[in-house]
């Protein structure tokens, strides 16, 4: 029996799989779910935890991209707008509608170098540096009509002198426009796609790095390294999908040994989290004098999320951090709008992610396209490279990827994911409060916060997690912030959790609510449970 040239493990240890996917972010897991549901055998490898990079560090919105209209990206915006409600119906526990308030200031001028601004200033020179009310209203009219809306309400004009949305803002803002978009728990979205893919037959391998490949005429040999044990083994696949996100070009060059002119532009987006700045549940869309925009969003009930920045990032292997300059920028930007200035000492947490945007040669990170590009290489065993993409259109990207995959692997079943709920999402969008009330009634020992949190994290699976518990003590050790041993055991067994960081900062954001001692206790419990299971 022949061996792989890099290891001494026999090739036939594992049967050949149809599709091998590199990358456990939203694109990789979305493709894995779609492909597994079409009858393909699928293996996915992620070198770290699922959603450990870009897919857990977004602004966490399902949105059409209102500002992309200024760059004439109408197809992308339309596709994203239509997708919002498709996704809401599939995951009403981890996503929900939000209203966005866009304050208007007639005298504000912008350093705005978008195609729209150039066109208008060429026709009407006095318009240079302005987004007039009629232009914003036109953009919002297009936003309302480009995509289908059945759940989300349309745009309306607000009088900030009387509406509650004006209370936290500087009094110079008298008028605003309010429109709809959606929130999503991004890292949980990735994990739920991976779980559904696994339930449909896919093999999901977190903490498994592709260290080498060999491309033959009719299949790939892929050498993998288990990041925990250091052991290597080999898999075979008829086709390979490179969904490495920020590492897509690096994988092409180093692991796949393929020269390509196609690449990505790495753009760092940073965010800050501060204690809750206002009482209502709406978000703000702020325009800066530099032409950029940021959001201020209610976050985890007791906080406000502010972001994001757009800065070029030189190297995917350099961990992104929200720099002091970016923190100052976001604080200063938000303070131009809020009546009470936001200060650096209010920041309780920061995070930063690298967005792998398709490199279209744009002059700035802000202007770089958010379109995705799928490149199929059939010179030998087929290879599909995924460049770019955004979280709102991940399901459409997966469908488009399966069209390409079907060219190389004919006989796949038709598309199926639209309208099919993710685990725990099998209930109507409007029934979230009803579900929370039912959980609170069935488990009377839960606090109101715990009932809300468990439904938002697990949906209908909250009952499976809590099981036959009759009291809080039945859930085991209490770690604080409503975290119990039973929930941690669930996360270890079903959500690939292997560390406190996995659970506290990706599967949840409960790290915001714990002391250092409590964080250590959670990490120690998970580490010990994982070790005992491996023994």
> Are 457 and 508 in contact, with CB atoms under 8 Å apart?
yes
Q: What is the rounded average pLDDT for all residues in the chain?
A: 90
More confident residue, 220 or 82: 220
Residues 6+ apart with CB under 8 A from 391: 26, 55, 58, 61, 62, 184, 186, 189
Across 1-10, 231-240, 384-393, least confident range? 1-10
pLDDT band at residue 283 under the 50/70/90 scheme = very high
Higher model confidence: residue 421 or residue 370? Answer: 421
Q: Span 429-534: which CATH code?
A: 1.10.8.870
- What is the spatial distance between Cα 203 and Cα 206, in angstroms, rounded to a whole number? 10
Taking 50 as the threshold, does the pLDDT of residue 439 lie above it?
Answer: yes
* Protein fold of 98-182+265-357: D-Amino Acid Oxidase; Chain A, domain 2 (3.30.9)
Domain spans of the chain, in order of start = 11-54+188-263+370-408, 98-182+265-357, 429-534
Distance CA 399, CA 391 (A): 14
What confidence tens digit (pLDDT) does each residue in 500-530 have?
A: 999 999 999 999 999 999 999 999 999 999 9
What is the average pLDDT across 181-194? 97
pLDDT at 506: 97
409 close to 402: Cβ distance less than 8 angstroms: no
Residue 229's pLDDT is what? 92
- Residue 112 reports pLDDT greater than 60: no
Of 383, 358, 398, whose CA–CA distance to 255 is shortest? 383
The residue-averaged pLDDT of 304-316 equals 92
Give the pLDDT confidence score for residue 125 in this predicted structure: 41
User: Which pTM does this prediction carry?
Assistant: 0.92
Higher pLDDT, 132 or 456: 456
CATH fold of 11-54+188-263+370-408, please?
Answer: FAD/NAD(P)-binding domain (3.50.50)
Dist CA 56 CA 352 (whole Å): 9
Phi, psi of 426 (to 5 degrees): -90, 65
pLDDT digits (tens, 9 = 90+) for 354-406: 999 887 655 455 545 557 899 999 999 999 999 998 899 999 999 999 999 99
- Sequence-separated (6 or more) residues with CB below 8 Å from residue 509: 299, 300
pLDDT of residue 3: 38
Reported as a pLDDT band with limits 50, 70 and 90, residue 11 is very low
Query: Strand, coil or helix: what is 232?
Result: strand
In the chain, the percentage of residues whose pLDDT exceeds 90 is 76
Burial class (CB in 10 A: 0-12, 13-18, 19+), 128: middle
pLDDT of residue 9 exceeding 70: no
Q: How far apart are CA 147 and CA 512, in angstroms?
A: 36
Distance from C-alpha of 57 to C-alpha of 59, rounded to nearest angstrom? 7
Residue among 50, 110, 505, 496 nearest 273 (CA): 505
d(CA 110, CA 128): 8
- Give the pLDDT band (50/70/90) at residue 81: confident
Burial of residue 15 (number of CB atoms within 10 Å: 0-12, 13-18, 19+)? exposed
Residue 126 pLDDT? 35
pLDDT, residue 365, reads 52
Is the per-residue pLDDT at 234 higher than 80?
Answer: yes
Cα-based angle 29, 223, 267 (whole degrees, multiple of 5)? 45
Give residue 360's pLDDT.
63
Examine the pLDDT at 122 and tell me if it is beyond 60: no
Pick from 371, 397, 373: nearest CA to 387 = 373
Strand pairing report for 264-275 and 283-287: unpaired
Residue 109, pLDDT above cutoff 90: no
Instruction: Lowest mean pLDDT of 22-31, 323-332, 387-396, name the range.
Output: 387-396
């Amino acid at each position: 029996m022949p061996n792989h040239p890099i290891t001494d493990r026999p090739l036939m240890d594992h049967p050949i799989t149809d599709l091998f996917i590199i990358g456990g972010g939203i694109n990789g897991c979305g493709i894995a779910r779609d492909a597994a549901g079409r009858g393909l055998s699928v293996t996915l490898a992620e070198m770290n935890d699922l959603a450990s990079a870009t897919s857990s560090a977004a602004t966490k919105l399902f949105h059409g991209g209102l500002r992309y209209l200024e760059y004439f990206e109408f197809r992308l915006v339309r596709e994203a707008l239509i997708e919002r409600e498709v996704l809401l119906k599939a995951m009403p526990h981890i996503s929900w509608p939000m209203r966005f308030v866009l304050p208007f200031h007639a005298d504000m001028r912008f350093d705005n170098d978008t195609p729209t601004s150039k066109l208008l200033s060429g026709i009407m020179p006095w318009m240079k540096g302005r987004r007039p009310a009629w232009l914003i209203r036109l953009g919002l009219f297009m936003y309302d009509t480009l995509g289908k809306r059945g759940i989300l309400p349309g745009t309306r004009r607000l009088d900030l002198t009387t509406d509650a949305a004006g209370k936290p803002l500087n009094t110079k803002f008298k008028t605003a426009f309010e429109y709809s978009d959606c929130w999503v728990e991004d890292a949980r979205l990735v994990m739920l796609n991976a779980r559904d893919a696994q339930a449909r037959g896919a093999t999901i391998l977190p903490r498994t790095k592709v260290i080498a490949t060999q491309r033959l005429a009719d299949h790939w040999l892929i050498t993998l390294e288990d990041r925990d044990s250091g052991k290597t083994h080999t898999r075979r696949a008829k086709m390979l999908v490179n969904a490495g996100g920020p590492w897509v070009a690096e994988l092409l060059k180093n692991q796949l040994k393929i020269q390509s002119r196609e690449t990505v532009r790495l753009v760092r987006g940073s965010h800050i989290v501060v204690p809750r700045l206002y009482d209502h549940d709406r978000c703000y869309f702020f325009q800066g004098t530099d032409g950029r925009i940021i959001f201020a969003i209610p976050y985890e009930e007791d906080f406000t999320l502010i972001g994001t920045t757009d800065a070029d990032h030189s190297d995917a292997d350099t961990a992104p951090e929200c720099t002091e300059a970016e923190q100052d920028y976001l604080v200063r930007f938000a303070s131009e709008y809020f009546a009470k200035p936001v200060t650096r000492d209010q920041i309780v947490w920061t995070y930063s992610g690298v967005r792998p945007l398709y490199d279209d040669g744009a002059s700035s990170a802000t202007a770089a396209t958010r379109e995705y590009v799928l490149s199929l290489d059939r010179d030998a065993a087929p290879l599909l490279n995924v460049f770019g993409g955004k979280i709102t259109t991940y399901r459409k990207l997966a469908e488009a990827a399966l069209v390409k995959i079907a060219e190389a692997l004919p006989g796949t079943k038709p598309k199926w994911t639209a309208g099919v709920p993710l685990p725990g999402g099998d209930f109507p969008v409007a029934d979230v409060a009803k579900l929370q009330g039912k959980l609170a009634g069935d488990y009377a020992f839960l606090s109101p916060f715990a009932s809300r949190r468990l439904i938002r994290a697990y949906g209908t699976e909250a009952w499976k997690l809590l099981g036959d518990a009759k009291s809080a003590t039945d859930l085991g050790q209490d770690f604080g912030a409503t975290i119990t041993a039973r929930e941690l055991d669930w996360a270890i067994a079903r959500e690939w959790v292997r560390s406190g960081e996995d659970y506290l900062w990706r599967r949840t954001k409960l790290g915001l609510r714990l002391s250092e001692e409590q964080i250590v206790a959670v990490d120690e419990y998970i580490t010990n449970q994982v070790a005992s299971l491996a023994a």
